[in-house]
């Protein structure tokens, strides 16, 4: 199947399903693996910059090896299976539906006049303390977060998927995850 169809199906899946909680999310697995490898690599290398570079290289290599291996093994079963695995990998790199849902949750609570609930909903989305924010500050924080996360969860994975397919999108997610 052509890459553009794989990407289109993956984007449609994200719009329809969002991130199902039952599916092991690659970003969480990448983060856990990075944390697992951080201490041993930092203890192995005296130069902490070199240790950090090795973490990036190792995590990226393992993630790409796993993704490539899944696609190849599926391809041995049937070419359509490789397409399905590629679509699922691409799908896991997008976060448009969940991002929109979180933003709308804040909006609904503000519209209902429930400032405390809006603060709680906003705290799930933004990287700052929302306990004392007023309505305008909640709106601004939510918009800023949705805008930034739109790049991280929609635009950039889509760009790298177009450039380099599922492996490009996965590599972007590795770098983005390690950056955060």
| 3 vs 150: CA distance, rounded Å | 22
Average pLDDT over residues 135-159: 95
pTM over 0.85: yes
So what's the pLDDT on residue 126?
87
């Amino acid at each position: 199947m052509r890459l553009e169809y794989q990407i289109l199906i993956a984007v449609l899946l994200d719009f329809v399903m969002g991130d199902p909680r039952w599916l092991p999310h690659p970003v969480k697995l990448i983060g856990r693996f990075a944390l697992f490898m951080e201490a041993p690599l930092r203890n192995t290398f005296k130069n902490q910059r070199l240790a950090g570079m090795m973490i990036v290289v190792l995590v990226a290599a393992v993630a790409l090896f796993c993704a490539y291996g899944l696609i190849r093994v599926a391809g041995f079963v049937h070419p359509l299976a490789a397409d399905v695995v590629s679509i699922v990998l691409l799908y896991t790199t997008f976060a448009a539906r969940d991002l929109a849902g979180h933003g709308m949750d804040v909006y609904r609570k503000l519209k209902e006049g429930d400032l405390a609930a809006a603060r709680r909903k906003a705290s799930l989305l933004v990287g700052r303390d929302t306990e004392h924010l007023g309505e305008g500050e909640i709106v601004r924080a939510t918009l800023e977060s949705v805008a930034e996360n739109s790049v991280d969860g929609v635009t950039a994975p889509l760009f790298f998927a177009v450039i380099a397919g599922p492996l490009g999108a996965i590599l972007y997610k590795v770098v983005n995850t390690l950056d955060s």
